[in-house]
């Protein structure tokens, strides 16, 4: 019980927001795509990723797990390419409210009774007809030709389209909502070998479209005057008006009892929402809390930011030892690059300041917690950069011949400008050349020598020379 309370107390408001957001996204995907092939494929991929793949990994089925990983990796691209039409129509939603909050309404406006009456009128007159009632998918990708009609559905209209002498009677009509959208549409033929031989081209066309989309296709046979419906991979005969009415209503999602239908719809969505919430919470627990593990990084670099212009950091800690904890899954995948430590020097005005390292100084991946950091405090020493002009002096070594003396040595240039922190440069009065031996000097002349700029942190002005010319004068020594 104590463990449970501790666990519940450790849940942050951001964790709750995390769970609710993902649950809502999944719920919206379900609400927008339910009943369509897209949703089916998404569910299949989810089962593959969350169920089958972990099983293959844990049982050591290397080849199978590789294949599953490849499929899921390519799944996103495949879904976008294959279902681009559905995704496009979704993204072209009339307003954001319907995208984020609306539910696709079934075609309650479709005059089902009119369609059924028309079908049986055509059957009675032995007039062949193909009537396509769209589902959520637009069949325009799989059909050919077709003439845009956009006429109101009425019995007279349907009868006149399929009248033998009408130029467009040969193709199918596509009904969307309460409109006949297209006429004279050529449907793809089914390649299935299971269709009975009595079915002709008209029936094969109906079966072909039903297999390729989620549409319901009503076929009126010209030879026998019978009515059949094709949906998915099924083709079945319809015995009467009531059966056809019920079939069409089911396809369009129109309940007989409208109020009861709405209640069922709401219940279905509520259950779906609850299921997603539970699943996401469970998955969050596995990632965020399951099997906590500790990982230590010995040298995480420290970044100092926002120091005052002209100030330089001359003494501080450059790296820290950091101990992190989190779920085993998260910690195992972590690398040093994901841990960043930065110290803000914005309000630091003193030359020396001790700064305590806390969680606020760190950027960690979500779900990872800071256990400890060593050292816990960092001493930062700031210094103002100062430019100083210093004289140059020759550093002579060795010995001239006994009879000679070095009367003078003029250095060009005589001075050099250097920049360094004030603490360092204020201690320096002279810059020396490299050691120059007197052993080989026998007469006056000019030599060139390098400067020995020490400490190495001293910065020269750009373009400054690193060598000097020495004009030396040698004279006899008076004994």
Partner 1 sequence: MKFKFFTFFLLLIYLALNFSSQAFAQDQEEATPVESPQELTLVRAVMCEGLRGLGPLNEAVAFSIEREEVFCFLNFDPVPEKTPIRISWFWKDERRRNPKFILKPPRWSTLDSMQLRDADKGPWRVEVRDAEGNILKTLRFSITD
Per CB under 8 A, residues contacting partner 1 are 391, 393-400, 405-409, 427-430, 432, 438, 477-478
Contact partners, residue 364, CB within 8 Å, separation at least 6: 324, 338, 339, 370
Q: Which residue has the tokens 């009509």?
A: 173
Q: How far is the CB of 411 from partner 1 (least distance, A)?
A: 9
Specify whether the CB–CB gap between 354 and 317 falls below 8 A: no
Please report the sign of the dihedral spanned by the C-alpha atoms of residue 401, residue 402, residue 407, residue 411. Answer: positive
Strand 129-133 and strand 172-176: the pairing is parallel
Q: How far is the CB of 445 from partner 1 (least distance, A)?
A: 15
Q: Which is nearer to partner 1, 52 or 428 (CB)?
A: 428
**Measuring CA to CA, which residue among 265, 230, 262, 232 is closest to residue 244?**
230
CB of 437 to partner 1, least distance (A): 9
Nearer Cβ to partner 1 (45/428): 428
Is the Cβ of residue 287 or residue 411 nearer to partner 1 in the bound state? 411
Beta carbon nearer to partner 1, 180 or 474: 474
Contact predicate 102/146, CB 8 Å: no
Helix (H) or strand (E) holding 435: strand 431-437
CB of 351 to partner 1, least distance (A): 22
Element (H, E) at 248: helix 241-252
Nearer to partner 1, 10 or 401 (CB): 401
Closer CB to partner 1, 93 or 406, in the complex: 406
- Residue number, 224 or 477, with CB nearest to partner 1: 477
- Per DSSP, what are the bridge partners of residue 130? 219
Q: Report which secondary-structure segment, H or E, holds 298.
A: strand 292-305
Which of 250, 278, 247, 272 has its CA nearest to residue 119?
247
Least distance to partner 1, CB of residue 400, Å: 7
In 50-194, DSSP assigns E strands to: 129-133, 144-152, 172-176, 179-186
- Shortest distance (Å) from residue 438 CB to partner 1: 6
Tell me the Cα Rg of the chain.
42
Residues 6 or more apart whose Cβ sits within 8 Å of residue 437:
397, 398
Residue closer to partner 1 (CB basis): 13 or 478: 478
Q: Name the maximum alpha-carbon separation found in the chain.
A: 147
User: Who's near 160: CB < 8 A, 6+ residues apart?
Assistant: 166
CA torsion, ordered 118, 124, 130, 131, to nearest 10 deg: 20
How many angstroms separate the CA atoms of 355 and 377, rounded? 5
- Rank residues 337 and 427 by Cβ distance to partner 1 and give the closer one: 427
The smaller minimum CB distance to partner 1, of residues 350 and 402, is found at 402
- In the complex, minimum distance from the CB of residue 449 to partner 1, in angstroms, rounded to a whole number: 13
Least spacing, CB of residue 399 vs partner 1, in Å: 5
CB of 456 to partner 1, least distance (A): 17
Q: How many Å apart are CA 271 and CA 280, to the nearest integer?
A: 14
CB of 331 to partner 1, least distance (A): 54
């Amino acid at each position: 019980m104590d463990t449970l309370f501790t666990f519940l107390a450790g849940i942050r408001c951001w964790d709750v927001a995390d769970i609710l957001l993902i649950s809502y996204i999944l719920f919206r995907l379900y609400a927008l795509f339910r009943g369509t092939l897209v949703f089916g494929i998404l569910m299949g991929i989810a089962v593959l990723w969350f169920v089958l793949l972990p099983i293959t990994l844990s049982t050591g089925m290397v080849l199978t797990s590789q294949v599953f990983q490849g499929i899921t990796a390519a799944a996103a691209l495949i879904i976008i390419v294959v279902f681009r039409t559905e995704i496009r129509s979704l993204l072209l939603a009339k307003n954001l409210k319907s995208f984020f909050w609306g539910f696709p309404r079934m075609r309650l406006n479709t005059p089902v009774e009119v369609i059924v009456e028309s079908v049986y009128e055509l059957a009675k007159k032995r007039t062949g007809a193909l009537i396509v009632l769209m589902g959520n998918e637009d069949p325009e990708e799989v059909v050919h030709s077709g003439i845009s009609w956009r006429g109101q559905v009425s019995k007279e209209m349907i009868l006149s389209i399929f009248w033998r002498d009408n130029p467009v009677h040969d193709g199918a009509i596509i009904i969307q909502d309460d409109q006949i959208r297209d006429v004279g549409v050529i449907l793809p033929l089914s390649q299935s070998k299971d269709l009975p031989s009595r079915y002709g081209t008209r029936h094969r066309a109906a079966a072909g479209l039903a297999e390729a989309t989620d549409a319901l296709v009503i076929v009126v046979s010209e030879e026998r005057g019978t009515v059949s419906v094709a949906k998915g991979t099924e083709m079945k005969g319809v015995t009467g008006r009531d059966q056809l009415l019920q079939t069409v209503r089911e396809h369009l999602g129109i309940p007989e009892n409208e109020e009861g239908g709405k209640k069922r719809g709401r219940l279905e969505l509520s259950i779906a929402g609850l299921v997603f919430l539970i699943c996401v919470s469970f998955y969050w627990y596995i990632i965020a809390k399951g099997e906590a593990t500790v990982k230590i990084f010995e040298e995480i670099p420290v970044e100092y930011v926002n120091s005052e212009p002209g100030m330089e950091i001359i003494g501080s800690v450059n790296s820290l030892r950091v101990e992190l904890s989190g779920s085993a899954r998260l910690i195992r995948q972590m690398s040093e690059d994901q841990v960043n430590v930065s110290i803000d020097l914005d309000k630091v005005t003193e030359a020396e300041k001790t700064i305590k390292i806390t969680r606020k100084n760190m950027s960690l991946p979500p779900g990872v917690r800071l256990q400890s950091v060593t050292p816990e405090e960092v001493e930062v020493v700031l210094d103002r950069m100062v430019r100083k002009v210093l004289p140059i002096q020759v550093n002579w070594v060795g010995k001239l011949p006994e009879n000679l003396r070095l009367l003078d040595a003029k250095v060009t240039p005589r001075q050099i400008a250097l920049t360094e922190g004030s603490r360092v440069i204020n201690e320096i009065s002279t810059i020396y050349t490299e050691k120059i031996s007197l052993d080989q000097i026998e007469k006056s002349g000019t030599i060139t020598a390098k400067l020995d700029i020490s400490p190495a942190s001293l910065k020269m002005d750009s373009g400054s020379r690193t060598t000097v010319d020495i004009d030396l004068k040698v004279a006899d020594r008076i004994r």
